[in-house]
Every structure is written in C-alpha cells, then in structure tokens.
Amino acid sequence: METLEFIIYPDGRVQEKVTGILGASCAEVTAAIEEQLGVVLRQETTAEFFAQPVQNSQTATTQATFSDW
C-alpha cells in the first residue's frame, strides 16, 4: 500500500515520509506537493528507493528428439 505521511512542526517545517513506492518514482508522486510546500532542505532515501519492481517472466524450453528406427 502506498502511503504519504506528513508531520508539521510548530516552526513550520514539514516532514514527509513516503512508503510503499519502489524506486525513484516516489519523487514523481511528491513533486507537486513539495512545490506547494516550499524549499526542500533535505532528502533521505530508504531501502524502497533502491528496490526494483519484481518482473515475472516465464520461459519454457522444450526439446524434441526423434529416432530413425
């Protein structure tokens, strides 16, 4: 499940935490929000940033042999 969590501090700082989105696509999801919030002071990547989506691929190999008898 994709979630965005925001913590707003009394001094106006906003901490944003994104979970459930693999790879760098989290930047695309949060770009419009960050533009409205103001200057981004720091970004920290998580393990999910470096994770790659799982791609299922199935390859079947068959080999037929025929005898001449």
Query: Average pLDDT of 37-58?
Result: 80
Count of domains in the chain?
1
Q: What percent of the chain is modeled with pLDDT above 70?
A: 75
Percent of all residues in the chain with a pLDDT value above 90, rounded to a whole number = 20
- Rounded to two decimals, the pTM is 0.61
- Containing 34, the helix (H) or strand (E) segment is helix 25-37
- Asked if the structure places residue 35 within a domain, the reply is yes
| Residue 59 is assigned to a structural domain of this protein | no
- Residue 1 carries which DSSP code? -
End-to-end CA distance of the chain: 61
Residue 11 lies in domain? 3-41
Residue 52 lies in a domain: no
Q: Give the integer Cα–Cα distance in Å for 18 and 27.
A: 9
Per-residue pLDDT, 53: 67
Q: Give the integer Cα–Cα distance in Å for 62 and 41.
A: 57
Indicate whether 27 belongs to any domain.
Answer: yes
- Answer whether residue 15 is part of any domain: yes
- The tens digit of pLDDT for each residue in 5-24 reads 999 999 989 999 999 888 88
d(CA 4, CA 48): 14
Tokens representing 66 are 């025929």
Domain presence at residue 50: no
